Amino acid sequence: MERTKKGITKFFKDNGLQITIETNLKQVNFLDVTLDLPSGKFWPYQKENNSLLYINKLSNHPPNITKQLPTMIQDRVSSLSCSMEEFDKNKGPYNEALAKSGFSETIQYSPTVGTSTKKKRTRSRKVIWFNPPYNSAVSTNIGHKFLRLIAKHFSREHKYSKIFNKNSVKVSYSCMPNIGSIISSHNKKILNKEQLPSPPNLPAQRTCNCRSHAICPLNGKCLEEATIYKATVTTDQKVATYVGSTELPFKTRYTGHKSSFLHQHQAKSTTLSKYIWDLKMQGTDYELKWEVLKQCSPYRCGARVCDLCLTEKLIILQASEESTLNKHSEIMQKCRHRNKFKLKSVK
């Protein structure tokens, strides 16, 4: 055992890692369960000085969450107990925590949890979830109203009824952020605005590297990063707009657009390049102007949302359907800025 332990420790150390190994143990704590090897018994485990804390029964949470909380705790503790005897020894702290949170229910041993051998038929179904935030001060049944709108505007005769119906669109309330998360996000927002004074010898950051502002597509601001931009194509008959986003400096994205305008094999790279090539084939003269609509925060690893993608989709939705070149299918696309943080992108 000791030789194996030293060999594994050396292997981890040679690769810049550390590991702690304990051998010849007869009783171990794994996550939230204690395993006793000689007797084969197991029971719930809690760290020392760890107090249980649950949401209050009167808190601003959806009723189905507060109603099912005692049942969920009971099922979990029962699954971690090998017998009713071990369950009764460890149920005290859980009942006390429920009582402090305003629940009158107490947990009871339920040995049937997880013993069902019947295999349910699973069917993969594409479901669109609508998750409105829940607030007990709102008396309107948002979920019921939303489903009635789906049934009203997407009847069986509608061409999109197979996509939007009561089986493919589901409603589930989401919880509002608590006071702690609100304070934390406010402090982070304020602190991010503060900038440390730069050293006196450090040159100011460049906003343009064009030869002159006259030929710069954004009038001296082509190096701005994480921006939502708009291209306006004007002809004698029509004015068309295209909305795009880039996490890199706009100059880099602008170079890609210019390449798609020059090389015909890249004509279908974007809807803007396709529209430009259609005008070229027809021999129509056009004027192209660029502008930045908004500067956003780039995606950070671990964040739940991407400010860049959400802002772009919002502007596309607000654009006029007659003049915009963007397709509404772009709204359903996944965020592409988080791909660089995946393990497959690590070299």
Question: What pLDDT score was predicted for residue 212?
Answer: 74
List the chain domain ranges.
1-27, 31-112, 128-171, 227-334
Question: What pLDDT score was predicted for residue 240?
Answer: 93
CA pair distance 81, 36, nearest whole angstrom: 12
Who contacts 69 (Cβ-Cβ below 8 Å, separation ≥6)?
54, 55, 98, 103
Taking the CA of residue 320 as centre, how many other CA atoms within 13 Å lie in the half-sphere pointing to its CB? 6
3-state SS class at 231: strand
Question: What pLDDT score was predicted for residue 25?
Answer: 86
Q: pLDDT tens digits, residue range 185-241? A: 888 877 766 544 555 555 567 788 887 767 888 888 888 889 999 999 999 988 999
Of 58, 62, 67, residue with least CA distance to 138: 62
Dihedral sign, Cα of residue 63, residue 68, residue 70, residue 72: negative
Q: At what angle do helices 63-79 and 92-100 cross, to 10 degrees?
A: 170
Question: What pLDDT score was predicted for residue 180?
Answer: 82
Burial per residue of 92-125, b for 16 or more beta-carbon CB atoms within 10 angstroms, e otherwise: eebbeebeebebeeebebbeeeeeeeeeeeeeee
Per-residue pLDDT of the chain (347 residues; tens, 9 = 90+): 888 999 999 999 998 899 988 888 889 898 899 999 899 999 999 888 888 989 899 888 888 889 999 999 999 999 999 999 999 999 999 999 999 999 999 999 988 655 556 667 777 778 899 998 888 888 899 989 999 999 999 998 998 888 899 889 999 888 887 788 888 888 887 776 654 455 555 556 778 888 776 788 888 888 888 999 999 999 998 899 999 999 999 999 999 999 999 999 999 999 999 999 999 999 999 999 999 999 998 888 878 889 999 999 999 988 888 889 998 788 888 888 888 888 777 76
Question: What pLDDT score was predicted for residue 221?
Answer: 83
Question: What pLDDT score was predicted for residue 278?
Answer: 92
Element (H, E) at 112: none
CA pair distance 55, 49, nearest whole angstrom: 19
Q: pLDDT tens digits, residue range 43-77? A: 999 888 888 989 899 888 888 889 999 999 999 99
Of 285, 289, 278, 273, residue with least CA distance to 237: 285
Place of tokens 């996490």: 247
Backbone angles phi, psi at 280, to 5 degrees: -65, -40
CA pair distance 164, 161, nearest whole angstrom: 5
DSSP string, 138-181: --S-HHHHHHHHHHHHS-TTSTTTTTSSTTTEEE--BPPP-HHH
